[in-house]
């Protein structure tokens, strides 16, 4: 997670919406919410209160589970989207939506001539530009219609007067899945997206929002059905309290049972260890982990050569959900996730009904005024091997496999800690160039799931907290 004002506004909105949901007043009061959050004379961070309110309205539409770009009638109030969300039975695998009114403030051309331009006689920038896009009018000017973003002018300027201004979401996307459409609004190409959530975190305008199932989840909680929550291991790092208290707090929200996905992680380790030993016996050079859904999407969409080396073992969430549904087929299973990619994975898992992020869980706790430290201790599942809880940080999966392996000394691991342009190159070359390593642990986020895009606290704090329960 990235701590900034955009994130604080989003959390405030989530908490207020959760409160209205729990009180059963969402439909009556949601239209007024943007006004309440941004009263007429409030200091605003965008151009005016009206824009701020419009951004909140469309963010709320996203939170209700709809794509902002699917809006047909601009006059349609949020209350109607609430009704549609309540009646909804079909969902899609699109998890992120661009709030177009918040977007569009970024440059189309990344090269900008600053006022450091000295209007020098030599003007090497015009000589360097192959497209004749620079002309001198008092200072150098870049023609946005002819510029092709090559950056030659930047290299040529002896005064460093030309800068490269990145577009944060585009810059952060490791697979170039987000780009501007003809109106200058960012568009996410679903065929390329690997659901890492970097764009969501990086946009300082808060223009990308995650669609949620909050309406469906709160309705399920009120319906009298048995609703069971399973939470990703990284959750134990999000608060300063013991697992017993965190579990109790989730129960206090209204969940009938709370299960640690660390339990399924043990199953993943068991299977992955066997698979690894089998593959090594067959003479395969190496195997990579498969628990990070973003990574497996990356392989699917961008690194087909790596596919034969990816473990076929299922994710911890898969085994956990399977166990829950086997025992109680009629219950509703909600997966509490640290990132967009796990939400995407949940959509394709028939044993998981809904997913909600750590942030949404936080919003629910705020809305219900639950103080975790004051909750009565619940019981933890003592059959869980602690290494399963370590799946959420870099090195944790490899450690767990080593603890389960018959011959841990034979495991020579490489840790891919976060995927960026350089580790992507490394992954691409892995089949040819893996040294003597035979086990490759891959995590999309730097540091692991404790640094997922939907986490509540920074990853250093979360890691310290999680390590307390792994030992």
Of 5 and 181, the one with the shorter C-beta distance to other proteins is 5
Please give the residues from 222 up to 251 whose contact with other proteins meets the rule CB under 8 A.
Answer: 239-240, 249
Q: Collapse the DSSP code of 449 into the 3-class scheme (helix H, G, I; strand E, B; otherwise coil) and give the result.
A: helix
Contact with other proteins (CB under 8 A) among 11, 46, 139, 446: 11
Q: Does 58 bind other proteins (CB under 8 A)?
A: no
The Cα–Cα gap between 203 and 173 comes to 11
Residue 5 C-beta: closest distance to other proteins, Å = 7
Of 129 and 456, the one with the shorter C-beta distance to other proteins is 456
Residue 3 C-beta: closest distance to other proteins, Å = 5
Q: Does 363 bind other proteins (CB under 8 A)?
A: yes
Residue 359 C-beta: closest distance to other proteins, Å = 8
Residue 462 C-beta: closest distance to other proteins, Å = 9
- 71 forms beta bridges with none
The Cα–Cα gap between 375 and 255 comes to 14
Q: Does 165 bind other proteins (CB under 8 A)?
A: no
Q: Does 17 bind other proteins (CB under 8 A)?
A: no
Q: Could you say which DSSP state residue 314 is in?
A: P
Q: Cβ neighbours of residue 299 under 8 Å, at least 6 residues apart?
A: 306, 307, 310
- Is the distance from CB of 456 to CB of 471 less than 8 angstroms? no
Of 278 and 377, the one with the shorter C-beta distance to other proteins is 377
Residue 363 C-beta: closest distance to other proteins, Å = 7
Stretch of 202-210, 262-270, 363-371, 386-394 contacting other proteins, by CB under 8 A: 363-371
Residue 470 C-beta: closest distance to other proteins, Å = 20
- Is the distance from CB of 212 to CB of 66 less than 8 angstroms? no
Please give the residues from 443 up to 462 whose contact with other proteins meets the rule CB under 8 A.
Answer: 456-458, 461
Q: Could you count the other beta carbons within 10 Å of the beta carbon of residue 413?
A: 17
Q: Cβ neighbours of residue 45 under 8 Å, at least 6 residues apart?
A: 5, 52
Q: Does 15 bind other proteins (CB under 8 A)?
A: yes
The Cα–Cα gap between 108 and 8 comes to 27
Residue 271 C-beta: closest distance to other proteins, Å = 35
Of 38 and 178, the one with the shorter C-beta distance to other proteins is 38
Q: Collapse the DSSP code of 341 into the 3-class scheme (helix H, G, I; strand E, B; otherwise coil) and give the result.
A: helix
Q: Does 42 bind other proteins (CB under 8 A)?
A: no
- Is the distance from CB of 346 to CB of 337 less than 8 angstroms? yes
Stretch of 11-19, 281-289, 326-334, 418-426 contacting other proteins, by CB under 8 A: 11-19
Question: The tokens of 440 are what?
Answer: 């490759």
The Cα–Cα gap between 128 and 149 comes to 13
Using CA atoms, how far residue 243 sits from 311, 316, 371, in Å, is: 30, 18, 14
Please give the residues from 364 up to 383 whose contact with other proteins meets the rule CB under 8 A.
Answer: 365-366, 369-374
Q: Collapse the DSSP code of 394 into the 3-class scheme (helix H, G, I; strand E, B; otherwise coil) and give the result.
A: coil
The Cα–Cα gap between 289 and 443 comes to 9
Count of residues that bind other proteins according to CB under 8 A: 23
Stretch of 86-94, 147-155, 319-327, 358-366 contacting other proteins, by CB under 8 A: 358-366
Residue 369 C-beta: closest distance to other proteins, Å = 6
Q: Could you count the other beta carbons within 10 Å of the beta carbon of residue 144?
A: 12
Of residues 62, 67, 73, 64, the one with CA closest to residue 20:
64
Residue 224 C-beta: closest distance to other proteins, Å = 27
Q: Name the site residues for other proteins (rule: CB under 8 A).
A: 3, 5, 8, 11-12, 15, 239-240, 249, 362-363, 365-366, 369-374, 456-458, 461
């Amino acid at each position: 997670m990235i701590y900034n004002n955009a994130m604080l506004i989003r959390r405030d909105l989530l908490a207020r919406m959760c409160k209205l949901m729990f009180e059963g007043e969402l439909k009556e009061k949601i239209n007024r919410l943007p006004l309440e959050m941004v009263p007429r004379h409030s200091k605003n961070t965008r151009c005016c209160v009206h824009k701020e309110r419009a951004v909140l309205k469309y963010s709320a539409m996203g939170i209700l589970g709809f794509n902002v770009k699917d809006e047909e009638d601009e006059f349609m109030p949020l209350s109607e989207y609430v009704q549609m969300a309540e009646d909804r039975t079909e969902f899609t695998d699109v998890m992120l939506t661009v709030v177009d009114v918040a977007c569009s403030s970024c440059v189309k051309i990344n090269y900008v001539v600053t006022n450091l331009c000295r209007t020098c006689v030599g003007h090497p920038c015009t000589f360097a530009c192959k497209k004749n896009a620079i002309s001198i009018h008092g200072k150098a000017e870049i023609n946005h219609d002819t510029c092709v973003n090559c950056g030659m002018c930047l290299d040529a300027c002896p005064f460093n007067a030309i800068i490269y201004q990145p577009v944060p979401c585009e810059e952060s996307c490791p697979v170039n899945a987000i780009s501007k459409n003809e109106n200058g609004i960012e568009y996410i190409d679903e065929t390329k997206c690997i659901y890492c959530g970097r764009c969501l975190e990086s946009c300082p305008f808060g223009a990308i929002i995650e669609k949620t199932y909050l309406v469906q989840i709160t309705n399920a909680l009120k319906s009298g059905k048995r609703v069971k929550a399973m939470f990703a291991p990284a959750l134990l790092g999000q608060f300063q309290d013991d697992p017993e208290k965190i579990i109790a707090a989730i129960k206090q929200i209204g969940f009938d049972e709370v299960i640690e996905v660390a339990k399924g992680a043990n199953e993943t380790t068991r299977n992955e260890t066997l698979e690894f030993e089998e593959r090594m016996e067959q003479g395969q050079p190496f195997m990579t982990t498969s628990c990070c859904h973003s990574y497996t999407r990356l392989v699917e969409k961008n690194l087909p050569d790596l596919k034969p080396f990816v473990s076929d073992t299922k994710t911890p969430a898969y085994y956990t959900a399977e166990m829950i549904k086997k025992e109680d087929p009629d219950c509703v299973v909600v997966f509490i996730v640290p990132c967009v990619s796990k939400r995407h994975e949940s959509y394709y898992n028939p044993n998981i009904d809904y997913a909600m992020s750590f942030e949404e869980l936080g919003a629910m706790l705020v809305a219900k005024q639950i103080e975790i430290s004051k909750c009565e201790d619940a019981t933890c599942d003592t059959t869980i091997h602690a290494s399963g809880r370590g799946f959420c940080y870099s090195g944790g999966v490899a450690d767990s496999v080593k603890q389960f392996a018959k011959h841990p000394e034979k495991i020579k691991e490489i840790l891919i800690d976060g995927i960026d342009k350089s580790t992507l190159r490394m992954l691409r070359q892995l089949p040819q160039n893996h040294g003597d390593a035979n086990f490759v642990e891959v995590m999309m986020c730097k540091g692991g799931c404790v640094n997922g895009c939907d986490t509540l606290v920074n990853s250093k704090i979360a890691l310290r907290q999680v390590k307390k329960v792994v030992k």
